[in-house]
Structure 1
Amino acid sequence: MLKLKDGLKIMELLNAAGRPRLFSITFVTADQSRDTGGEVIHYPKAILSRLRRSGRPGKQGKPGKLKGGIQYHAKNRTRNICALGSSQVRMLHIDLVLEINGRSIA
């Protein structure tokens, strides 16, 4: 069993080239506003998706500033992931993660 914080660290790992590492993940969907969810989703190969940073000063603001505004993933306990081979980014609630790399989350 993994603690949630250790599972999140696995999701945030980078390879030698500085790109996100692949991991497998199983989670449950939920949408309180639409009163839907409960579907178990498994991605055998996924990466953590992040906003791109702009490296140009000027209209974009200071170098390294997040494009598109700040997303409050830590406050809302969410993360964006992308299944390998897909361009769709999916937001998930970290408390609904069941497994990472085949190890269940405590």
Structure 2
Amino acid sequence: LFEYKFQTAQWVQWKFTGQEPVPRSAHGAAVYDDKLWIFAGYDGNARLNDMWTINLVGENHQWEHVEQKGECPPTCCNFPVAVARGKMFVFSGQSGAK
């Protein structure tokens, strides 16, 4: 994860300990409640449907795997994500399903 500081025009790479999400592309990402949320994507071999979050404020920058409940969307990639009214919305994307 890289952070760009607008005031100083400087990039900073965050360092982590503990569990981290697998590297991926074509995932959904949103910011809600001072946290970055990532969902699904593609790891180079398979589509994913896991969810991770990381706190963007303070000093405790540790990834957390989110246990999802209910009917989870299928594994997917290349989809839009929106946050509104305290919820994250995922629409369409490529799932490999017909």
Shorter-chain TM-score range: under 0.3
Normalised to the residue count of structure 2, the TM-score between the two structures is 0.24
User: Which is bigger in relative contact order (C-alpha 8 A, separation at least 6)?
Assistant: 1
Considering fraction of residues, name the structure with more helix: 1
Considering fraction of residues, name the structure with more strand: 2
